[in-house]
Structure 1
Amino acid sequence: MWDEKHVQRYEAWYAGKAGSFALRQEKRLLENLISGWPRRGRSLLEVGCGPGYFLEMFWEAGLDVTGLDRSLAMLDAARARMGNRARLDVGNGEHLPYEDNRFDYVALLASLEFMENPQAALEEAIRVAARGVVVGFLNSWSLYYALSGRKRCPASGTLQAAQWYSPYRIRAMLREAAGNKPMTLRSVLPGPVVTWRDVLIFRLCNGWVSPLPFGGFAAVRLDLVNIAPVTPIMAKAKSVKPVPSG
């Protein structure tokens, strides 16, 4: 169970230079992935919402948001951030307390890494999502993993405790849970942590969303239904001759 010390450590990371830079890129990645999803009047559940950083982003994108977490300390932090803009529930992502198709979308962002049965969590997310699921994960195909996440590397207790995933593994797990549904992969932060800072040369390296699967943070969007573009291409208007007056 994540207690107040974990919350403080989490928020201290995102308040620092590297963490705040990483958070901006992670949000940019997620905004890119959900850009085609209709959002007005649509609902999203974030499983393992933590202190609510991404809940806030989804709310600002126009979604009605619900956050779920096992940690009361994390939910207290999310409540302080979100106020009455989100519903917050305590629960286990491997056994969601919601009926089938309860939400339009479900997000799991760096939460599978800390679950005992991540496959069950994906199956539950797909059960309660009517339209789509987005999964963000710590990428084992990255320099971030090579330098910070491997068991032989000195790292914080949180990184050492995490189960890192490859894009191939996440896709395979989603395919097992949902069948052959359309998936889209993107990643950010391909450089090592020392380059995660707001300096021009480092922004050129880390400040873009890539279709390549080698960034430290990656995400896959799974579309459960065919979703029409939010802004359809308008047909070209035919020219109309003016009607003579008189």
Structure 2
Amino acid sequence: MDSQPNLGPMAATDLFARRATLARSLRLLTEFRYERSQPARFYGALAADTVAMVGDLWQAIRGEPATGRTLLDVGGGPGYFAKAFTDAGLRYIGVEPDPSEVHGAATAFADAACAFVRASGMALPFADHSVDICLSSNVAEHVPRPWQLGAEMLRVTRPGGLVVLSYTVWLGPFGGHEMGLSHYLGGARAAARYTRRHGRPAKNNYGSSLFAVSAAEGLDWAASTGAMVTAFPRYHPRWAWWLTSVPLLREFLVSNLVLVLQPGSPADTT
């Protein structure tokens, strides 16, 4: 693949910005209510929206559809994203450390044009520059070294390709995940409070499977790589994207931050 020059923030997000309407934001927020009771409904809607986002970003950066490209999904889970991306014509590879998730996805999509690998996102078992697109959706806040994960994503992506790293900002309203707004009391206190109320630790337990990751940390890391294209709030309408540029305010109101990077040369992955 020939290297492509990094585009400006507006050029890279112009296509997706047209989809980023208030109606879309409200629709996704409504679907979130079904995450536990009807996971197929929620994750199916999120997967379809993610395919549209990645497709628009690739089209803007490369000037062509993403069809036929190889996408590596770090933390792909049980297969909802696999179906959505293969239906869109991409070659899908899912990476997931949970063996039950990998087994379930591999069984459900055995005949599809996709593959599943059990591995950690912080040590991807793939060669340098081996995929066209590397995606991580809402995983960085669940690993102790999120920017090592980001560096691995850059390493395995071909020059001129696309890296999309999206994560939940700790001080945003959803930073505590199922612990709710109690995370504003502090992560350890929120975890203890959840255990007292429910008689068991939260699935996303602070300090072991949930960590405090700020918007500023992600933006600083992305800028340090030399491969950053743009960043924006994943679920906000386009007219609210300015929040990303305001320190402190973005920590509370961005909620979920998307970092878009395009490796321009092997040096960008170091």
Structure 2 partner of 1:219: 258
4+ aligned runs moved over 4 Å, structure 1: 17-23
Cα pair 1:141 1:215 within 8 Å, conserved: no
Residue 219 (structure 1) shift: 2.1
Cα pair 2:222 2:259 within 8 Å, conserved: no
Gap change, CA 1:71 and 1:144, over 3 Å in 2: closer
1:194-218 per-position Cα deviation (integer Å, ceiling 9, x unaligned): xxxxxxxxxxxxxx56524535433
Residue 83 (structure 1) shift: 2.6
Structure 2 partner of 1:135: 165
1:159 is aligned, of 197, 200, 204, to 204
1:168 is aligned, of 186, 193, 216, to 216
Cα pair 2:43 2:80 within 8 Å, conserved: no
Aligned equivalents of 1:110 and 1:100: distance in 2? 23
Q: Is 2:123 aligned against 1:95?
A: yes
Q: Percent same amino acid among aligned pairs?
A: 20
Aligned equivalents of 1:71 and 1:98: distance in 2? 18
Structure 2 partner of 1:54: 81
Point out the structure with max Rg over C-alpha: 1
Aligned equivalents of 2:222 and 2:148: distance in 1? 11
Cα pair 1:47 1:108 within 8 Å, conserved: yes
Amino acid at match of 2:263: L
Structure 2 partner of 1:43: 70
Gap change, CA 1:215 and 1:20, over 3 Å in 2: farther
Gap change, CA 1:129 and 1:180, over 3 Å in 2: closer
Residue 57 (structure 1) shift: 2.4
More helix as a share of residues:
2
Task: Provide the secondary structure at the position in 1 that maps to 2:110.
Answer: helix
Gap change, CA 1:26 and 1:39, over 3 Å in 2: closer
Gap change, CA 1:222 and 1:73, over 3 Å in 2: same
Q: What TM-score comes out, normalization by structure 1 length?
A: 0.67
Gaps of 5+ in 2: 1-33, 59-64, 195-200, 245-252, 265-270
Structure 2 partner of 1:187: 234
Gaps of 5+ in 1: 1-12, 191-207, 226-246
Residue 21 (structure 1) shift: 4.6
Q: What TM-score comes out, normalization by structure 2 length?
A: 0.61
Task: Provide the secondary structure at the position in 2 that maps to 1:41.
Answer: coil
Aligned equivalents of 2:256 and 2:122: distance in 1? 22
